[in-house]
Amino acid sequence: MPSLPEQLEADLLVARKARDPAAVDALRATLAALANAEAPPAVEPSSTAPPVIGLVEHERLTLTAADHERILREEIALRTDAAAEYEALAQADAAATLRAEVAVLRRYLP
């Protein structure tokens, strides 16, 4: 069974071919959120260490299935809250777009 990021990537390809903008936007943003969560924390340079010149490779963090689900739920919550705000501002089209993205992302919840 593929991991959540693998499934999202495969479905992104399908959504792009189908020209489904809500699915493409939701899947791309969620994949970006997952990639950002894998980034190692920033390390402050110490005053005793010699300065590093050039790029330094850092190992990415390994996320668990629970981390994937948490990030997915956060992405759904962000869109749900934003849709409610757009509704309050009488911007029904923007709210409908976000609700369509929420519907796409909910398919990946266990």
* Number of domains making up the chain: 1
pLDDT at position 34? 97
- Eight-class DSSP state of 109: -
Instruction: Give the pLDDT band of residue 1 (cuts 50, 70, 90).
Output: confident
Residue 10 lies in a domain: yes
Closest CA to 38 of 12, 11, 59, 9: 59
- Eight-class DSSP state of 89: T
Q: pTM (2 decimals)?
A: 0.84
Instruction: Give the pLDDT band of residue 106 (cuts 50, 70, 90).
Output: very high
Domain range holding 65? 4-38+57-106
- Indicate the average pLDDT of the chain: 91
Place of tokens 């399908």: 14
pLDDT at position 9? 97
Residue 43 lies in a domain: no
Residue 72 lies in a domain: yes
Residue 48 lies in a domain: no
Instruction: Tokens for 15, please give them.
Output: 């959504």
pLDDT at position 60? 87
How far from 94 is each of 40, 49, 89, CA to CA, in Å?
Answer: 34, 50, 10
Residue 78 lies in a domain: yes
- Domain CATH code at residue 16: 1.10.1510.10
pLDDT digits 0-9 by tens, 26-77: 999 999 999 999 988 776 666 676 666 766 677 888 999 999 999 999 999 9
Rounded Cα distance between 16 and 20, Å, is 6
